[in-house]
């Protein structure tokens, strides 16, 4: 009877992990079919956060990392001066909290940008499972390596690029991420507000608006509110290539 109850509790998770369209981006990517049940046993799936709600807060004890199932999440830190600095945006299939896996407390605050569903992976149980599944452990190392690379790229972006280069790079990054999710890479809705873009890129909100207007006048993009259409991807890529060519 106990076994029957356990199977009843786990089966909805199995169905979701096996059939989830994001499985090629999320942790199941590293799991063999016959080992997926072991991952499903630890995941807490489908918790909903409304816009503005915190998934976790900076300096609070680390308990889990989270995979975005739908919606989007913003991470930020509070500087010594008490100001918010946006550090990243996370979309479906991406994991939040990896940068805190080896720490006792979260390095940042994660907040839902819209109604967002997440799958929660308790850190202690995930660490135990990675010890038993080498493929999962390797994938976790790969994800953490990507986090470090993203941090390096952000540091370069903020220290050397012009406003045009920063915004072009952000739009191209979002385009690539939407493509990976088999969504339109040229016509999408920005998950974040202009003030969050400005904060993330180290620009004034007015500068962000001016660059968007300039790109529109040049026929590179079409933007209305948060809806953006990339009309000339090659031109956006040329902006970022100019940066690389000049060795700045």
pLDDT at 15: 44
Residue 148 lies in a domain: no
Same domain, 96 and 193: no
Q: Is 202 left (phi over 0), alpha (psi -120 to 50) or beta?
A: left
Same domain, 121 and 185: no
Residue 60 lies in a domain: yes
Same domain, 89 and 170: no
Give the domain extent around 215.
158-245
Residue 10 lies in a domain: yes
Query: What is the number of structural domains in the chain?
Result: 2
pLDDT at 6: 33
Identify the CATH number of the domain in which residue 79 sits: 2.60.120.10
Domain end marker among 141, 174, 206: 141
Split at pLDDT 50, 70, 90, the class of 33 is low
Identify the CATH number of the domain in which residue 229 sits: 1.10.10.10
Residue 149 lies in a domain: no
Same domain, 14 and 110: yes
Same domain, 162 and 210: yes
Split at pLDDT 50, 70, 90, the class of 10 is very low
Question: Is the confidence at residue 71, as pLDDT, over 80?
Answer: yes
pLDDT at 36: 73
| pTM given for the model | 0.81
Domain end marker among 141, 173, 208: 141
């Amino acid at each position: 009877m106990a076994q029957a109850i356990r199977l009843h509790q786990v089966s909805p998770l199995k169905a979701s992990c096996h059939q989830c369209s994001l499985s090629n981006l999320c942790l199941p990517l590293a799991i063999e079919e016959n080992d997926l049940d072991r991952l499903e046993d630890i995941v807490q799936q489908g918790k909903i956060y409304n816009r503005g709600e915190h998934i976790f807060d900076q300096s609070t004890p680390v308990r889990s990392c989270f995979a975005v199932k739908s919606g989007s999440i913003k991470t930020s830190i509070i500087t010594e001066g008490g100001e918010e600095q946006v550090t990243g945006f996370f979309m479906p299939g991406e994991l939040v909290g990896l940068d805190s896996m080896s720490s006792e407390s979260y390095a940042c605050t994660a907040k839902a940008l819209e109604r967002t569903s997440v799958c929660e992976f308790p850190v202690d149980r995930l660490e135990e499972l990675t010890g038993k599944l080498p493929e999962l452990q390797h994938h976790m190392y790969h994800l953490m390596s990507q986090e470090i690379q993203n941090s390096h790229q952000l540091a370069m972006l903020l220290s050397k690029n012009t406003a045009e280069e920063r915004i072009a790079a952000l739009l191209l990054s979002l385009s690539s991420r939407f493509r990976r999710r088999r969504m339109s890479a040229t016509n999408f809705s920005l998950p974040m507000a202009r003030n969050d873009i400005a904060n993330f890129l180290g620009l004034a909100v007015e500068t962000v608006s001016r660059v968007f207007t300039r790109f529109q006048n040049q026929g590179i993009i079409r933007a209305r509110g948060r809806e953006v259409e990339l009309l000339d991807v090659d031109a956006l890529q040329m902006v970022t290539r100019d940066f690389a060519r000049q060795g700045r």
